[in-house]
Amino acid sequence: MKLDWNGHDYILTLSQGELNFIMDCLLIAVTHVSDAEYEIVIGKRKEAADHDISELAEQRHRTYTRRVRDELENSGAISVVLGSMGDLSVLTEDEITARITDAAARLGSAIEDGNRPQVILEREKIAALFGELNRRKADFRNSLRAMLDAADPGVQLTAAIYSLKTNSDQAVRILDALAVSRYARIAYEAELALKNWRERNTEYFERDLRVE
Residue from 151, 170, 160, 155 nearest 190 by CA:
160
For residue 19, pLDDT beyond 90: no
Q: Supply the pLDDT for residue 29.
A: 62
Pairing of strands 10-13, 2-5: antiparallel
Q: Which residue has the higher pLDDT, 84 or 182?
A: 84
Q: What would the mean pLDDT of 52-76 be, rounded to a whole number?
A: 86
Residue 208 banded pLDDT, cuts 50, 70, 90: very low
For residue 16, pLDDT beyond 90: no
Instruction: State how far the alpha carbon of 51 is from the alpha carbons of 45, 48, 60, 136, in Å.
Output: 11, 6, 14, 43
Q: Supply the pLDDT for residue 200.
A: 78
Residue from 134, 66, 129, 132 nearest 100 by CA:
129
Residue from 139, 72, 76, 131 nearest 99 by CA:
131
Rank 17-26, 128-137, 201-210 by mean pLDDT and report only the highest.
128-137
Q: Supply the pLDDT for residue 53.
A: 72
- In this prediction the pTM is 0.78
Q: Per-residue pLDDT tens for 41-63?
A: 667 777 776 777 777 778 878 88
Contact indicator for 158, 100 with CB cutoff of 8 Å: yes
- Distance between CA 121 and CA 107 in Å, rounded? 9
For residue 88, pLDDT beyond 80: yes
Q: What would the mean pLDDT of 78-94 be, rounded to a whole number?
A: 97
Q: SS3 breakdown of the chain: % helix, strand, coil, rounded to 5?
A: 75, 5, 20
For residue 205, pLDDT beyond 70: no
Residue 202 banded pLDDT, cuts 50, 70, 90: low
- Average predicted confidence (pLDDT) for the chain: 85
